[in-house]
Structure 1
Amino acid sequence: MHIELGPLRPDPSLLVLGLAQLFLLMFVLGVLLFPRVERMRAQRWDATEGRAERAEAVRAEAEAIRDAALDEITEARHEAARIRQEYTERGSAAIAAARAEGVRDRALLLTTGRARIAADRTEAAGVLRRDVGGLAVALAGRVVGESVHTVAAERRTVERFFAQPAD
């Protein structure tokens, strides 16, 4: 089958030469130009989207570090609250112990003070009765004009007077 192509009929030697040049051009493009183009494309991608990915990775790492720091801070706050609570309880216990000791000391002081006052009152009452009795006998002797000490001592008048219940 032979088709008449007229002026479009290719010359086989030119066709082989054209194909050789095409393969040579493809080889040169594949070995020299396409790798450069690919490197340039990779550099541009790295400069634009690669940086965005690295920035995203850095941001994710920073968030992880921040979250860890926040967890540490939260843990430290809990520990501080626990320590505050512990020392508040210790302080309350110390205050309660000091208060109880103060109440005991107060009770002891009141008891000893009341006992001392009662003893002093009894002693003062005895001294006062003796002095009042002596003064009463001396006054009676002055009123009567002679000494009544022996009569008062025999009759125990002063002791009977003080023994009577007060009205």
Structure 2
Amino acid sequence: MPITVLAEGEAPEGIGIFLPAIYDIVWSLVPFLLIVGFFVFYAVPRFTKILDQRRNVIEGGIERAENAQAEAQKQLDEYNRLLAEARQEAAGIREQARQEGAKILAELKEQANAEAARITANAHAQIEAERQAALHSLRGEVGSLAIQLAGGVIGESLTDDRRSTALVDRFLADLEASEAASATGGSVAVQRGKAGI
């Protein structure tokens, strides 16, 4: 359908009612093109630049977070490795301490046994010395009693030291011989000792 140009004062008819006049289209098109040019050449590039910056910041933040997470995981793995090594070292130290403790205990037992053997030997030596002293003392007392008894039986005084000492020694020797003979079952030495007195 052709566009008809109306003269001044004529009213449009039909579809022309809806079509604006040419001058309105021209004057409306100029600001529209200015606005579109503003958006295309100024606003959209700025928005694109801002959005790119935000995207870069977000992507950089994500990358930094991933790097930090990887570093944290690496440090956690290192910590776990060091902890495992420390546990192994502690187990080794405990085992070494247990072995050293057992060694020290064995040495202390050995020292205690040696000390006990030394104390036992000293006790035996002291007992033997006391037995010898008691035997010597008993010989003197038995000798004086034997001399008194022998003097009473004979009816004479046996105060001569040489004779009395020889008599006591012979009596004690016979007494020891009789103990030895009774231990072996013989009584001949006892009878000889009685006959000699």
1:87 is matched with 97
Q: How does 1:136-151 map to 2 (within 5 A)?
A: 136-141=146-151, 146-148=156-158
Q: How many residues were matched structurally? A: 150
Partner of 2:179, secondary structure, is coil
Task: Give, in angstroms, the shift of residue 49 of structure 1.
Answer: 6.3
1:159 is matched with 173
1:109 is matched with 119
Give the counterpart letter for 1:72 in structure 2.
Answer: L
Please say if 1:74 is aligned against 2:88.
Answer: no
Structure 1 runs (4+) deviating above 6 angstroms are: none
Task: Write the distance in 2 (CA, Å) between the matches of 1:123 and 1:52.
Answer: 103
2:65 is matched with 55
Cα gap change, 1:25 to 1:118, in 2 (>3 Å): same
Give the counterpart letter for 1:137 in structure 2.
Answer: I
TM-score by length of 1: 0.64
Q: How does 1:124-139 map to 2 (within 5 A)?
A: 124-139=134-149
Residues 8-37 of structure 1 show CA distances to partners (whole Å, capped at 9, x for unaligned) of xxxxxx9xx99xx69x839x62x5334322
Q: Is the 8 A contact 1:137 1:152 kept in 2?
A: yes
1:96 is matched with 106
Please say if 1:25 is aligned against 2:33.
Answer: no
Task: Write the distance in 2 (CA, Å) between the matches of 1:79 and 1:94.
Answer: 22
Give the counterpart letter for 1:118 in structure 2.
Answer: E
Whose Rg is larger? 2
Q: What do you get for the CA RMSD once the two structures are aligned?
A: 3.7
Task: Give, in angstroms, the shift of residue 50 of structure 1.
Answer: 5.4
* Percent of matched pairs sharing the same residue: 32
Cα gap change, 1:144 to 1:36, in 2 (>3 Å): farther
Task: Write the distance in 1 (CA, Å) between the matches of 2:107 and 2:95.
Answer: 18
1:40 is matched with 50
Task: Write the distance in 1 (CA, Å) between the matches of 2:71 and 2:111.
Answer: 59
Cα gap change, 1:117 to 1:49, in 2 (>3 Å): same
Is there any run of 5+ residues in structure 2 with no aligned partner, and where? 4-25, 183-197
Give the counterpart letter for 1:91 in structure 2.
Answer: G
1:120 to 119, 126, 130: 130
Give the counterpart letter for 1:84 in structure 2.
Answer: R
User: Structure 1 residues 128-137 or 148-157, which shifts more?
Assistant: 148-157
Task: Write the distance in 2 (CA, Å) between the matches of 1:118 and 1:52.
Answer: 97
Task: Give, in angstroms, the shift of residue 107 of structure 1.
Answer: 1.5
Is there any run of 5+ residues in structure 1 with no aligned partner, and where? 8-13
